[in-house]
Chain A
């Protein structure tokens, strides 16, 4: 097998990996602070993509608003809307469950997923609607020497990496971030120091959902927009978070990227296993290093 092929598949793997990283990052942040597995994370990702699609193609047709929200505005707007919805869900529903078993949080968000998926399945083809709003500036192709790579995909990779590492830097190296981490470590104590932990929790949940929404907008031009795009992904992202170590920010980012690569290379060696290789790794990690590669067991 030529090195060209491996490089090409690795790059495509990285392409998938940045989405895993972004989603698992949000999931990890939420898990760290709320101890909740947000099953609806995939639905938030889907929602982000749909906001971009509807904003671009359907505003006039559906709501009679003669407006076309392009890709760049969507990139800001969609995360805000999705984050807002996340805040709404946290305020009205999730916060009632904090005293109960964490499993109820998982179940609640599973229900929310069903609702969102069902809603969009009524109006959109489940196998995907192409997103036509990809900016012209990114529509070309870059010759990388070993392959032609669409400019937009390259942009998505770079952009996501920047978002991921900015988030990491923010949490690990700023004052606000250190408060956040304190809230994760010991909510009672942090509260006693006069920090508004409930507000932090709400904003964190909103932020995590917003990240998923952002990933959705970024994914729209590549994968086309489908009501089930999140459902297919969320299970994989769970595995990424578990492998990285639940609650570990850097773990989520790195394992997201790494598993994207692993998946990409599996497609070269034994394509049928590509969708399952991550779960094999997950079982292994859970058996031999239950806290994940980067986590510490609570």
Chain B
């Protein structure tokens, strides 16, 4: 046993000495590697998934494929909506595959796990997919950026509009994990601050196929509005089934707290028309967005969600920061990104705040009536713009420990 111990201690000594010292400047290795970690096979596949990898590749191609003379590479993996799989994949990417930045992360539980891990390893994460505002609040990280939307921004537009139209009593159907809880919590605050009332909540597991029993509970609660704090196919299923059980026809209103254009396309305008929700991007909002979106469509076979556009924008700005700095060191890049003003087709005048939240305008949109739609993906019209300072938590209210 003694020999064994000595052997171990010796081996550790040797290995520690042999570990390469971190390079001071320039690129950490001979490449800039970007990891897209996403749900490639499940409930959120359509809203981020493989499309996000395409968006990242497009960003790199448009950037010229190289930064500081070195190749830029994308790798991707499926986190299967399991935080442990997401975290261990990210860990291996950082430890063994020299990944410099991780993006995607369209599941709040995965996003929080990966951001926590990347914080220890001083690696930048730009979360484009997850919602939970904990990413920039309770669990904010000096290396974590939250880029497209969060559960604070979503209800600001949607819930305000609905309460002001008379939807005072709310019942929530909540996806039973970090994202859903955060969204229901934040929406409840908005509803109550406007004089509304929350009469009940039921948690439904992620990736539920049959929402009927939850919907009927919501129906019997006497609420005016059924708030759907879920996303992706869960939202699609709940709205479709609400239609099957004639929930809306019986006088209640559905409020999708997080809806993507891919969801509307999948359920069809017949069912979706009139649904109001909040997004960060509409593909046919102007010529610039449309030009990029059509290019994306040619490669992906579907129009971009706000996340797809966000991934392109995030990767582009990350590469810009690396180029201007001449380094991919996590601390320096994060500082640089905080100083930049972000401008492209996705965002105008965006700023990354100290808590990691990317501040930009959001839009309250409405699903068109079938007769208003001019082509397959012409599904949304903008109702109003929510300015960045309203949409995101202000730095005086944040609980993030990095601020102040």
Is chain B in direct contact with chain A in the complex (CB below 8 A)? yes
Which residues of A come within 8 Å of B, CB atoms? 2, 4-5, 8-9, 12, 15-16, 121, 125-128, 130, 141, 147-150, 222-224, 226, 229, 264, 267-268, 271-272, 275
B217 near A268: Cβ-Cβ < 8 Å? yes
Could you tell me the distance in whole angstroms from the C-beta of A138 to the nearest C-beta in chain B?
11
Tell me whether A12 and B209 are in contact in the complex, defined as CB-CB below 8 angstroms, given that A5-B220, A125-B42 are known contacts: no
Interface residue? B212 (CB, 8 A): yes
Chain B, Cβ-Cβ closest to A129:
B233
Q: How far is the CB of A216 from chain B (nearest CB, A)?
A: 13
Apart from A8-B216, A126-B80, A229-B209, list 5 A-B contacts with CB within 8 A. Answer: A15-B212, A141-B244, A147-B245, A267-B214, A271-B214
State how many angstroms separate the Cβ of A173 from the closest Cβ of chain B: 35
Distance, CA A224 to CA B241, complexed state (A): 11
Q: Which 4 pairs across A and B sit closest by C-beta, in order of nearness?
A: A127-B43, A148-B246, A223-B209, A5-B220
Given A4-B220, A5-B220, A9-B216, also A127-B245 (CB < 8 A): no
**Chain A interface main SS type:** helix
Please tell me the number of chain B residues within 8 Å of chain A, measured between CB atoms. 25
Hey, which chain A residues are within 8 Å of B45, CB to CB?
Answer: 125, 127
23 contacts across the A-B interface (CB closer than 8 A): A5-B217, A9-B213, A12-B213, A12-B216, A15-B212, A125-B45, A125-B233, A126-B207, A127-B42, A127-B45, A127-B233, A128-B209, A128-B237, A141-B246, A148-B245, A148-B250, A149-B245, A150-B245, A224-B237, A267-B217, A268-B217, A271-B203, A275-B205
Selected from B202, B216, B237, the residue in CB contact (under 8 A) with A147 is B216
State in angstroms the CA–CA spacing of A229 and B207 once bound together.
11
How far apart are B213's CB and chain A's nearest CB, in angstroms? 5
Q: Assess whether B62 is interfacial by the CB under 8 Å rule.
A: no
Is B401 engaged at the interface, CB distance under 8 Å to the other chain? no
Bound-state CA distance A100–B72 (Å) is: 57
Indicate if B41 sits at the interface (CB-CB under 8 A).
yes
Which chain A positions have C-beta within 8 A of B61?
Answer: none
> When the two chains form their complex, are residues A8 and B220 in contact, meaning their CB atoms are under 8 A apart?
yes
**Residues of chain A lying within 8 A (CB to CB) of residue B207:** 126-127
Question: Does B389 interact with chain A (Cβ within 8 Å)?
Answer: no
CA distance A255 to B250 in the complex (A): 34
Interface flag for B210 (CB, 8 Å): yes
Which of B207, B213, B232 has the most CB atoms of chain A within a 10 A radius of its CB?
B213
CA–CA, A15 and B207, complex, Å: 19
Q: Which of B226-241 contact A (CB under 8 A)?
A: 232-233, 237, 240
Contact A264 B213 (CB under 8 A): yes
